[in-house]
Amino acid sequence: MTVHTNLTNQKRKFLKQLFTSSFASLTLPAWANAPNDLFPSREAITALATNDDPSEERYWEMVKKQFSIPDHLLMVNAANLCPSPYVVNEQVHTAHQRLEKDVSFQLRSGFATEREQALQLMADFVGVRKEEIGITRNTTESNNIIVNGLDLKKGDEVVLWEQNHPSNGTAWEQRAKRYGFTIKKVSLPANPTAAEELIEPFAKAIHSKTRLLSFSHISNTTGMALPAQALCQLAKEHNIFSLVDGAQSLGMMDLNLKEMGCDFYTGSTYKWLMGPLENGVLYVNKAHLGHVWPTIVGAGWKSESATVDEKLCLLGQRNETTLSALSAVLKFHHAIGKKQIEERILALNSYLKQQIREKIPAATFITPLSPTFSGGVTILQLPGKEAQILFQKLYDQYGIACAPTGGLRFSPHIYNTMADMDKVVDALIAITV
């Protein structure tokens, strides 16, 4: 009981510091043009951090104020790109200013220290060892490191979900053409009622020549979420590799990759993690690092490198000022709570689906209605309406930013409120009459 109380107090203290420092940063020139009523008072921030109650809608309204989204815009496109909280933006801004004034090796050596800190925090965030985590530029690069780094030959086979992102689908097909191995794609039922319906098709596709099972944790085109742990266990039972594309789960779900049991995991920091641009994540189980060849070798690379970051992610010169803020966004997640974030995202999507079903009965959901088989993505189609046209109308007339992917794709995050979901539904009604 004492341990739980101490952890709770530590979390509240950090949350208070985080929101207070975020508020303080708004007095800097970078935010000088912001409207005065956009941000909460110090008293309100203190009350929020002290009460620390994510079950209250006002809590999430306060969280929303940690982002610079103006009142006339509504961002529901986390599956593609998220805004970052002020603490992250300020960190990037400060780092860039430092670099512009001093590009010396001496100053830039500090970025290496920040990278090491980010690697440790990211490893802790997903439940693995620091040596098993590398920082790339995005999920696409992380996927392609595995695609091009594994030894595959003629006669081998790779099993893919047909809904994989191109960087985890087309990339495999191109390499297969060059090296002569086979690609087998698996189709799944659109509205599963049990996890077995999603596992069995993969099990049937695997045979003696299969070397790898690769799938998107959550589809960016339908929003369907797969039972990753069960599928990774299936791969283990057949002694094959498993690659999980986590572009739609990193930062959205309360992940533990050791519990998931995957051999490789990829993700981006600027989607659900709400972190800095041009940063991605690559996890390689330490037992399999020796199976992955580097696809890019830069100055300073060593053949005896024993960490994922040193062996596979040494890319030469890159924008280190964005990476310097990766630690800040991970602390932001911890302050609110990974589980609380996942529950909030699922609650927003469940409410959005419910309201659309009740008020727009003609809508067809591409995404499974059950939270068990969907993540933070809701995709729907409206009869006789082109998604591309509706997508543009929503932004032009109502300031709602979504995506025309697989239909109308909405992916709300913690910078959205339940009232925002009502605005989305009202706008859909207005543009479809």
Angle at 279 between CA 412 and CA 112, to 5 degrees: 140
* Domain match, 272 and 356 both: no
Give the CATH number of the domain where residue 377 resides.
3.90.1150.10
- Check pLDDT > 50 for residue 97: yes
Give the pLDDT of residue 382: 94
Q: What is the CATH number of the domain that holds 299?
A: 3.40.640.10
325 and 416 housed in the same domain: no
Check residue 365 and give its pLDDT: 97
Please report whether residue 369 resides in a domain.
Answer: yes
Confirm whether 30 is domain-assigned.
Answer: yes
Does 44 fall in a domain? yes
Same domain for 20 and 166, yes or no, is no
- Whether the pLDDT of residue 52 is over 90: the answer is no
Q: Are residues 293 and 424 in the same domain?
A: no
| Residue 270 sits in the same domain as residue 183 | yes
Residue 179 to residue 263: CA distance in whole angstroms: 22
Residue 159 CA to its chain's centroid (Å): 23
pLDDT at 361: 96
pTM for the predicted model, two decimal places: 0.89
Question: What confidence category does residue 433 fall into, taking pLDDT thresholds of 50, 70 and 90?
Answer: confident
Residue 10 has pLDDT above 80, yes or no: no
- The predicted pLDDT at position 316 comes to 86
Using the 3D structure, point to which of 272, 301, 330 is the last residue of a domain: 330
The verdict on residue 265 lying in a domain is yes
- Rounded to an integer, what distance in angstroms lies between the CA atom of residue 317 and that of residue 112? 12
For the cut 80, the answer to whether the pLDDT of residue 156 exceeds it is yes
Q: Per-residue b/e over 166-181, b at no fewer than 16 CB within 10 Å?
A: ebbbebbeebbeeeeb
Q: Quick: pLDDT tens for 224-283.
A: 999 999 999 999 999 999 999 999 999 999 999 999 999 999 999 999 999 999 999 999
pLDDT at 34 exceeding the cut of 90: no
Query: Same structural domain for residues 385 and 316?
Result: no
CA-closest candidate to residue 77, choices 415, 306, 355:
415
| In-domain check, residue 302 | yes
| Residue 317: predicted pLDDT | 86
Task: Give the pair of three-digit tokens for residue 183.
Answer: 């690609």
What's the mean pLDDT when you consider all of the chain? 89
Helix/strand/coil percentages in the chain, nearest 5: 50, 15, 35
pLDDT beyond 60 at 44: no
321 and 367 in a single domain? The answer is no
Rounded CA separation 300/314 (Å): 8
Query: Once rounded to an integer, what is the mean pLDDT over residues 301-311?
Result: 93
**Going along 225-263, which residue ranges are E strands?**
241-245
In degrees and rounded to multiples of 5, residue 292 shows phi and psi of: -115, 120
User: Does residue 83 fall inside a structural domain?
Assistant: no
- Asked if residue 324 lies in contact with residue 95, where contact means CB atoms within 8 angstroms, the answer is yes
pLDDT at 294: 96
Residues 370 and 322 both lie in one domain: no
Residues facing residue 284 across a β-bridge: 264
Higher pLDDT, 316 or 270: 270
pLDDT tens track for 165-223: 999 999 999 999 999 999 999 999 999 999 999 999 999 999 999 999 999 999 999 99
Among candidate residues 217, 190, 318, 319, the one with its CA nearest the CA of residue 271: 217
Q: Is 70 exceeded by the pLDDT of residue 124?
A: yes
Closest CA to 124 of 256, 236, 220, 20: 256
- Same structural domain for residues 323 and 356? no
Q: 375 CB contacts (<8 Å, ≥6 apart)? A: 217, 218, 223, 225, 248, 249, 252, 253, 345, 346, 349
Strands (E), 27-169: 74-75, 133-136, 157-161
Q: Do 316 and 349 belong together in one domain?
A: no
Residue 234 and residue 349 in one domain: no
**Cα-based torsion angle of the residue sequence 63, 114, 276, 266 in order, rounded to the nearest 10 degrees:** -110
Beta strands (DSSP E) in 24-88 are: 74-75
Q: What is the pLDDT of residue 315?
A: 86
Q: Are residues 320 and 358 in the same domain?
A: no
Total of domains in the chain: 3
Q: Is 117 helix (H, G, I), strand (E, B) or coil?
A: helix
Domain that holds residue 361: 339-432
Whether residue 77 lies inside any domain: the answer is no
pLDDT at 1 over 60: no
CB 278 within 8 A of CB 137: yes
Euclidean distance between CA atoms 394 and 412, whole angstroms: 15
